[in-house]
Amino acid sequence: MTTPILVTGGTGTLGRPVVQRLRDAGASVTVLSRHPREATDGVRYAAGDLSTGEGVPAALQGAEVIVHCAGSSKGDEQKTRTLVGAAKDAQHIVLVSVVGADRVPQAGPVDRALFGYYGMKLATERVVAQSGIGWSALRATQFHELILIVAKALAKSPVVPVLSGFRFQPVDSAEVGERLAELALGSPSGLVPDMAGPKVYPMAELVNSYLSAAGLRRRLVPLPIPGQAAKALRAGANLAPERAVGKRTWEEFLAAQGPAGQGPAGQGRGSGRE
């Protein structure tokens, strides 16, 4: 009998490849959605809002495996508590987190204001680990899509600030999605090895390559950032060169986006993390 699997964030950048991989494997998949939707391509949608909790218990009823892809710039910890509290039938929760979650300090207000995402993801990991439900967590580096969004936003100004000493190791979101689906189809594994892209880039190189692809000329200006979190990031806390298992490079991703990084046929690609 097929194990019922529920995916949060199943319509987003990361969730879409997770759902597709699970369907390809013959799994019974339900996507948690804030709004009612008709079933498509064998995928059922259940209405539930993790922000308010409305509809979540009913949506999770019968779900034995949960893949938690939904995320935002704030509120992840509480949303995950809501999810875990409603997961009465779950035997396995699979969570995506971020490389460096346990290595980027949250010692002061600057740390939390600029890099609080890392602390929030670590808190979310703890919610799942302490839930009493079997769990697996995968920490990944930043997605190509997120790097593109940042580069496009910065390029709107004639002078582009580039964080001094920062490097990134972008990874393909579809490859991360495939790994999450693989974990969901297996047994709870706890914190699994990190997943990072094939190459480490200085931030200036990532921005310059986008500007070149978009045919733009901008002046890049180094921007020093204070605080313990920034110091850790300059030291590579967000990198995992020993886990460079991703295959698709930033250059390959950027080339596939078409003119000015708009995506195939001029269409946007969505956010890096939902």
Q: Give residue 151's pLDDT.
A: 96
Which amino acid would we find at residue 40?
A: T
Per-residue DSSP letter, 192: P
186 contacts: CB under 8 Å, gap ≥ 6 = 136
Residue 274 lies in a domain: no
Q: Specify which residues 140 forms β-bridges with.
A: 98, 195
Domain assignment present for residue 258? The answer is: yes
> Tens digit of pLDDT per residue, the chain (274 long)?
588 999 999 999 999 999 999 999 999 999 999 988 888 888 999 999 999 999 999 999 999 999 999 987 678 999 999 999 999 999 999 999 999 999 999 999 999 999 999 999 999 999 999 999 999 999 999 999 999 999 999 999 999 999 999 999 999 999 999 999 999 999 999 999 999 999 999 999 999 999 999 999 999 999 999 999 999 999 999 999 999 999 999 999 999 997 655 655 333 333 344 3
CATH number, domain containing residue 247: 3.40.50.720
What is the reported pLDDT for 35? 87
Q: How many domains does the chain have?
A: 1
Burial bucket for residue 134 (CB in 10 Å: 0-12, 13-18, 19+): middle
Is residue 223 a part of any domain in this protein? Answer: yes
Task: Classify residue 19: in a domain, yes or no.
Answer: yes
- Flag whether 271 is in a domain: no
Contact 220, 208 (CB under 8 A): yes
Task: Tell me whether residue 273 is in a domain.
Answer: no
Query: Does a structural domain hold residue 251?
Result: yes
pTM of the model: 0.92
Q: What residues make up the domain containing 147?
A: 4-266
Q: Identify the residue whose tokens are 């938690």.
A: 68
